[in-house]
A and B are shown apart, each in its own frame.
Chain A
Amino acid sequence: MVKEFPFVLTTGRMVEHMGGGAETRSNKYLAELQPEMYAEVNPRLGNDLGIREGDLIHIESPEGGRITVKAKLTERVDTKTIFLPFHFGGFLMGESLAGNFPEGLAPYVLGESANTVTNYGYDIVTQIQATKDGLCKVTRA
């Protein structure tokens, strides 16, 4: 499986958003500061995969989830890690769910949820489940 899904996927927080982003994505100031879902990719890895800053990429999990997000090339992650912020929602596997919100209540910012691609795993010593990470495959969209 590691051969097919060679990258470590980790999810985490951003300064501007909170939790699932339910409040902060509906706040015009914070929505303007962080208006898009993205995946952090190391520039070296981006170069190997032919990904440029702002390109759309697919992130695929072994369990079948696949999200389409923009690539952000940064050295904040190493060459084997992909970082996703988990504050976004409103898209599922490339399809917008904006129509499901009551009229006029959709947040300013919608994006793929990182939890679509987090996958199975647990710690063999403590039996604690891995809810925020996993393995993934990255391809150009």
Chain B
Amino acid sequence: MARLKFLCDVERCIDCGGCVVACKEGNHIPVGVNRRRVITINQGKPGEKSISVACMHCADAPCIAVCPVKCIYQREDGVVLHNKETCIGCGYCFMACPFGAPQFPKTGVFGSRGAMDKCTMCAGGPVETFSEKERTLYGQNRIAEGKVPLCAGMCATRALLAGDADVVADVYRERVFKRGSGANAWGWDKAYPKK
């Protein structure tokens, strides 16, 4: 069975925020909830890098291990999903997640947390596929339609890759090989002609 994975190529990501907006618009995510974010590290210094982060759909997902109501589960293709109707919004998964993926909408007068919301890799949820309920609770189910997630689909520089882990790894391997390090780095052929 194929394993679905995300990969963000930091050499290509230009911090445009398109993935964030595509996800929010396509899945009707409310203000304040960000299934995907772009993080910039070493801002203003040499070696500044941006990376787009969402749920990584971990192999041994810590959120599944800590969930007290067992609402988070992993599909056979590796996508980590959760049942919003079972979720009690306790926030344990947010503490456990190394990527800060689980998001909680604020509801009620005392700012109590609503059911957790996170990246579904555009694979819907545990209700009937393509149903109205799935669309309102979890967003689009593009995996069932045979499409890549919205964020990866719109990425202008093709930095964000999503899909079958083997294919994603092949694409990335080829890029790294072409880009090279040292002797094959961009501009070296012009700047330092070979003797």
Contacts and interface: CB of A to CB of B under 8 A. Distances in A.
B17 interface: yes
A28 B45 CA distance: 31
Contact of B17 (A33, A74, A77): A33
Contacts of A29: 20-21, 24-25
Interface string B86-129: 00000000000000000000000000000000000000000000
Interface residues of A, number: 11
Interface in B39-54: 43-45
A12 to B, nearest CB: 14
B25 A76 contact: no
Contact of A76 (B20, B21, B44): B44
A16 interface: yes
B21 A75 contact: no
Given A15-B17, A30-B21, A33-B20, A74 B31 contact: no
B16 interface: yes
A75 B32 CA distance: 28
A53 interface: no
Interface in B1-30: 15-17, 20-21, 24-25
12 contacts: A15-B15, A15-B17, A16-B17, A29-B20, A29-B24, A32-B31, A32-B32, A33-B17, A74-B44, A75-B43, A75-B44, A77-B44
